[in-house]
Structure 1
């Protein structure tokens, strides 16, 4: 449990103390709770209300914003659309969005697969509330990234140059009531592809895998967000931080979940920082942030897999297979 208000309270030693706590949690666990975020509780309440209204719409109405209609991975994700590395499908539906760039944005017109405008449903208040939440949690992500930079022994603004208009994605996820739910080991297990994830869940169900291979509950706690390390911070630290494998177990009660996957700019090269490389610890191969995000996404969503099969799109050179990060190591 880490109070992160010291990242922005103006005190001389606040950022350093928070950074030290973030670094310990990232090295030892990979999952943590954060408090003191500055995000108003009422905004979270409003987000849940408009999300419930959206998912209560008829299927045909939701499919008007089907993600397969977009060229930049934005919109409604019906149940069964997303498939993990083990072939399992979660019993969930989602709505995916990012920074809402204009339709004449140069990167979007050039075919960037992760940047551009959002699809918005015709639902009063939805766009305004979701946009406000995205802005607030993205700002929190910028503060946390500066804290992680300090934790890595770099200046606070070390990563700022890479965060000008990143494809950081917010997902609104709905797990419907499933009275016959049964767990299967590993179903839905994955790591997150970006730097880190800031999560606001409404019900239990999230589990992280520890070094002994056991699944540990990460229940929601009042006035907190869950924060976990993703692939890019694992790579930048050459494995010092680990993108912890996690899943949502099968639950019988209705559940909503709001993860913001905080990324860096699409064309950012990500490779181990020199301080984490040694003779005994050779550098892992680098990657391009957005290409990794797109490749992992394209291998897990049905509509993109169909486009791959038809030759409409191709994976970037050197793309990794799904779940190439997050190997647990007993400590």
Structure 2
């Protein structure tokens, strides 16, 4: 892997729907970006820019409401991690509270879904505010971006020497979460974390944001700015893709630096189905152990270690971490640099 990247590459994925030669060019670019950087700006995705404009307008309207109104859909009211996240609710492994608020949702399954009724911690219905326009726009954006994720997953499958549809059967109803995140304007802001350093738990993330602030750790342990590109997704590899690729595509440590300007961010975390066992599909890189995890259990465990309301439920014995859980930040560059004395077990 390279150790000195100073910018984020741009990958045009339009060719994934083109000729065999065009597809091969895109797959090579995806593999290079995932292996050398772990972050990329993805263009050629085909989404109508009006979808994002509508999402941004509805998101601003939601967060502009009084706190009491937003707390009517507080995430702690749910049993499957859906709803409003107030500032200070989420704490990453560094221990600092994040300076943001959010609204979290996922695939909107019915309340009669058997998994939800059985107590699955991530599957089921969303907790929606009483706002039909908000619900319609957010759902439309979620569904469109999820389809982009499916195309990307096919590209990564090809990059690993598999058939393009190799993961299709494991993407039937995944707990792929969309977050609407708001960083308020702060004229006194200094260079402090808005979201603490972490890797994303899923295969990869598709992110749109309205302002700079995102930083990526390179292989030297240096932080590199990843400002937004017009009508492009920032895509970064996560824990599951690191496992699937045998360590070839490393989960990339990143953080959000605190900036003065108001900022909105929209990551969709693309996961495999809840019960899928994630393990290497290619030979494991030298120096890394062969490891596996269950997709949904990994997401649930990491979430339980991050959100205050879930940590309280664990402390009270109302819920339990999966037996196979791992700690926070055991993937990615920070773990490999040993910054917190952790290692992949």
TM-score w.r.t. the length of structure 1 is 0.96
- Provide the C-alpha distance between the structure 1 equivalents of 2:132 and 2:292, rounded to a whole number of angstroms: 44
| Per-residue deviation, residues 55-83 of structure 1 (Å, max 9, x unmatched) | 00110110000000001000000000000
Q: Secondary structure at the match of 1:116?
A: coil
- Provide the C-alpha distance between the structure 2 equivalents of 1:184 and 1:18, rounded to a whole number of angstroms: 36
Kept after mapping to 2: 8 A contact 1:103/1:117: yes
Q: What's the RMSD between the two structures over aligned residues? A: 1.5
Is 2:152 aligned against 1:144?
yes
Is 2:68 aligned against 1:60?
yes
Structure-2 residue corresponding to 1:293: 299
Q: Secondary structure at the match of 1:188?
A: strand
TM-fit CA distance, 1:124: 4.2
Is 2:323 aligned against 1:317?
yes
Structure-1 residue corresponding to 2:273: 265
Match of 1:276 among 271, 283, 304: 283
Q: Secondary structure at the match of 1:307?
A: helix
Kept after mapping to 2: 8 A contact 1:54/1:123: no
Match of 1:327 among 324, 328, 333: 333
Kept after mapping to 1: 8 A contact 2:207/2:265: yes
| Per-residue deviation, residues 184-222 of structure 1 (Å, max 9, x unmatched) | 479600000000000000000000011111111100111
Structure-1 residue corresponding to 2:6: none
Structure-2 residue corresponding to 1:128: 136
Kept after mapping to 1: 8 A contact 2:88/2:98: yes
Structure-2 residue corresponding to 1:69: 77
Q: Secondary structure at the match of 2:40?
A: strand
Kept after mapping to 2: 8 A contact 1:35/1:223: yes
| Per-residue deviation, residues 76-98 of structure 1 (Å, max 9, x unmatched) | 00000000001011110000000
- Provide the C-alpha distance between the structure 1 equivalents of 2:117 and 2:23, rounded to a whole number of angstroms: 40
Structure-2 residue corresponding to 1:8: 17
280-289 vs 256-265, greater mean Cα deviation: 280-289
TM-fit CA distance, 1:269: 0.4
Match of 2:264 among 248, 256, 261: 256
- Provide the C-alpha distance between the structure 2 equivalents of 1:113 and 1:318, rounded to a whole number of angstroms: 16
Q: Secondary structure at the match of 2:196?
A: coil
Cα pair distance change 1:186/1:63, threshold 3 Å: closer
- Provide the C-alpha distance between the structure 1 equivalents of 2:155 and 2:173, rounded to a whole number of angstroms: 19
Match of 1:307 among 309, 313, 334: 313
Taking the TM superposition and a 5 Å limit, the aligned residue runs for 1:32-181 are 32-181=40-189
Match of 1:205 among 196, 209, 213: 213
Cα pair distance change 1:99/1:242, threshold 3 Å: same
| Per-residue deviation, residues 158-208 of structure 1 (Å, max 9, x unmatched) | 111110000000000000011122224796000000000000000000000
- Provide the C-alpha distance between the structure 2 equivalents of 1:46 and 1:139, rounded to a whole number of angstroms: 18
Kept after mapping to 1: 8 A contact 2:155/2:164: yes
Q: Secondary structure at the match of 2:98?
A: coil
| Per-residue deviation, residues 246-295 of structure 1 (Å, max 9, x unmatched) | 0000110000000000000000001122x3237x4554321101000000
Gapped regions of structure 1 (runs ≥ 5): none
- Provide the C-alpha distance between the structure 1 equivalents of 2:195 and 2:61, rounded to a whole number of angstroms: 28
TM-score w.r.t. the length of structure 2 is 0.92
Q: Secondary structure at the match of 1:103?
A: coil
TM-fit CA distance, 1:327: 2.4
Kept after mapping to 2: 8 A contact 1:237/1:272: yes
- Provide the C-alpha distance between the structure 1 equivalents of 2:192 and 2:56, rounded to a whole number of angstroms: 29
